[in-house]
Amino acid sequence: MASGRSVLNLFAYTGAFSLRAAGAGAASVVSVESSRHALEQAEESVRLNPGMAPAKFEWVHADVFDHLARGERFDLIIADPPPFARRRMDVEAAMRATSP
């Protein structure tokens, strides 16, 4: 699905989906993650894979929702957010946090 396309990977974490998209022929991959440490690991993964072209990747340290407000357009979007509620007792607070 990524071949020849511009890809946006939201909540990128260590970039596994980003590397997979690039490996499948994506024209470019923008990865957005709020953890600087996770992005550093993602960049290291590109360095450790000699077949990957570092120029295809853009690593963005930002809040995903702030980044989306920029209004950029992409051909393919990957969104794998972390869970808002890991336990049943956290569901009510998570619902309040995600409601407008």
Average model confidence (pLDDT) for the chain? 91
| CATH node for 6-98 | 3.40.50.150
Reported confidence tier of residue 83, pLDDT bands at 50, 70, 90: confident
pLDDT higher than 90, residue 92: no
Pick from 12-16, 36-40, 44-48, 86-90: least confident: 86-90
3-class DSSP state of 77: strand
DSSP alpha helix (H) spans, the chain: 16-23, 36-48, 64-68, 91-98
Which residue type is seen at 12? Answer: A
